[in-house]
C-alpha cells in the first residue's frame, strides 16, 4: 500500500517491509484456482467472490473510500481483507492489466493462525497498514480551532480589549457575554461563540474599541500569527468571521440610521 500525495519520512521503509509480508504468510498454502487476469476494472471489490482473498501478483490498484482517493496497492499486497465487514465502502479500480492469485479465505486464516510466527507477521501487516492510513487521515484533516495560549476565566467587569492597544490576539467567548465600547459609549454586544478582535489583526491598526466582560466568562485567546494561519487553512473560521463582521456592519448601519432619524426629528 502506498499513500497518495506526500509520504511521511518513515513510509518507504515501512511500505517495503509490508509488501514483503503476504508472500511469507502464504508460503506453503496452494492457491484455490487459476490466476484471475483482468485488462482493467472500475470496481474490483464488487467483482471478487466474498469467500476468497487474492495476492496481487502484477498491476496496480487505486483505492477510494467514500469516493475519496486515499491509496494504491502494488504487487505483493493482499486484496479482499475488508470483504464481509461493515465498513465504509472501499472501491478498487485500475486502468492497466491485473493478475491476482486466489486463495480460499477460510484456508488463509487457518494457515496464518496455525503458526505463531505467521500470526505475529499478519498482525504486523495489519498494524502497518493502519499506521499508513492513520497518517493519511491526519494529513487530510484540517487544523483544529485551538489556541496555543489556552483559555481564561474572567469575572464580570474585566477588560478584554483596550481601545488604542496593539492587536496581538483574537478572542472567542466560549461561555458568557461581553460588551463593546468606543470612547466610553456602548456600541454593541459580544455573545457566546463570537470571534472578536480580528479586524485590527487583519488591518494592523490599533484596537478601535474596548471589550469588557458583562458577566463571568470563559475566553479563548488565539495569537495573531496562529489565527492568520488558521483562517487560511480552515474555511469554517473564515466563514464564521464573515458572518460576525456582517452582523456588526448591519448593527452599525441600524445605529447610524436611528441616530440620523433622531437628528432629523424637529
Domain ranges of the chain: 2-140, 151-264
How confident is the model over 242-262, as a mean pLDDT? 60
How confident is the model over 210-238, as a mean pLDDT? 76
Report which DSSP code applies to 115.
S
Under 8 Å between Cβ of 57 and 99: yes
The span from the CA of 169 to the CA of 146, in Å, is 13
Structural fold of domain 2-140: Jelly Rolls (2.60.120)
Per-residue confidence (pLDDT) for residue 46, from 0 to 100:
79
Per-residue confidence (pLDDT) for residue 200, from 0 to 100:
77
> Model confidence at 27, in pLDDT bands (50, 70, 90)?
very high
- What angle separates helix 105-113 from helix 116-140, to the nearest 10 degrees? 110
How confident is the model over 220-239, as a mean pLDDT? 68
- Check whether 250 has a pLDDT greater than 90: no
* Domain covering 151-264 in this structure, CATH number: 2.60.120.10
How confident is the model over 191-204, as a mean pLDDT? 77
> Model confidence at 74, in pLDDT bands (50, 70, 90)?
confident
Neighbours of 220 (CB within 10 A): 18
- What angle separates helix 224-233 from helix 235-264, to the nearest 10 degrees? 110
How confident is the model over 180-186, as a mean pLDDT? 88
How confident is the model over 91-112, as a mean pLDDT? 92
- Of 151 and 29, the structure prediction assigns the larger pLDDT to 29
- Check whether 177 has a pLDDT greater than 50: yes
- Check whether 242 has a pLDDT greater than 60: no
pTM: 0.52
The phi and psi torsions of 187 (rounded to 5 degrees) equal -120, -5
- Check whether 254 has a pLDDT greater than 70: no
The span from the CA of 180 to the CA of 159, in Å, is 10
Per-residue confidence (pLDDT) for residue 73, from 0 to 100:
87
- Angle at 111 (CA atoms; ends 106, 115), nearest 5 degrees: 145
Per-residue confidence (pLDDT) for residue 133, from 0 to 100:
72
How confident is the model over 172-182, as a mean pLDDT? 87
- Check whether 88 has a pLDDT greater than 60: yes
Per-residue confidence (pLDDT) for residue 128, from 0 to 100:
83
Q: Which of 12-26, 122-136, 145-159 has the lowest mean pLDDT?
A: 145-159
27 beta partners: none
Identical topology for domains 2-140 and 151-264? yes
- Check whether 266 has a pLDDT greater than 70: no
The span from the CA of 193 to the CA of 113, in Å, is 54
Whole-number mean pLDDT of the chain? 79
> Model confidence at 97, in pLDDT bands (50, 70, 90)?
very high
- Check whether 168 has a pLDDT greater than 80: yes
Amino acid at each position: 500500500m502506498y499513500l497518495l500525495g506526500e509520504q511521511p519520512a518513515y513510509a518507504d521503509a515501512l511500505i517495503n517491509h509490508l509488501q514483503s509480508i503476504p508472500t511469507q504468510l502464504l508460503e506453503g498454502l496452494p492457491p484455490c484456482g487459476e490466476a484471475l487476469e483482468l485488462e482493467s476494472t472500475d470496481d474490483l471489490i464488487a467483482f471478487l467472490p466474498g469467500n476468497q482473498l487474492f495476492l496481487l501478483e502484477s498491476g496496480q490498484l487505486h483505492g477510494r473510500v467514500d469516493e475519496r482517493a486515499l491509496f494504491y496497492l502494488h504487487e505483493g499486497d493482499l486484496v479482499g481483507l475488508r470483504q464481509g465487514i461493515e465498513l465504509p465502502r472501499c472501491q478498487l479500480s485500475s486502468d492497466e492489466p491485473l493478475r491476482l492469485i486466489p486463495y480460499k479465505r477460510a484456508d488463509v486464516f487457518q494457515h496464518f493462525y496455525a503458526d505463531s510466527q505467521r500470526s505475529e507477521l499478519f498482525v504486523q501487516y495489519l498494524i502497518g497498514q493502519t499506521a499508513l492510513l492513520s497518517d493519511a487521515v491526519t494529513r487530510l484533516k484540517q487544523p483544529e480551532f485551538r489556541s496555543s495560549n489556552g483559555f481564561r476565566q474572567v469575572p464580570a467587569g474585566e477588560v478584554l480589549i483596550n481601545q488604542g492597544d496593539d492587536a496581538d490576539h483574537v478572542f472567542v467567548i466560549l461561555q458568557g457575554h461581553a460588551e463593546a465600547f468606543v470612547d466610553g459609549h456602548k456600541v454593541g454586544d459580544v455573545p457566546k461563540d463570537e470571534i472578536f478582535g480580528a479586524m485590527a489583526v487583519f488591518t494592523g491598526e490599533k484596537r478601535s474599541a474596548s471589550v469588557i466582560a458583562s458577566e463571568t466568562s470563559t475566553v479563548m485567546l488565539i495569537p495573531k500569527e496562529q489565527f492568520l494561519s488558521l483562517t487560511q487553512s480552515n474555511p469554517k473560521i473564515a466563514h464564521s468571521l464573515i458572518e460576525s463582521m456582517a452582523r456588526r456592519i448591519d448593527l452599525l448601519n441600524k445605529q447610524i440610521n436611528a441616530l440620523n432619524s433622531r437628528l432629523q426629528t424637529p
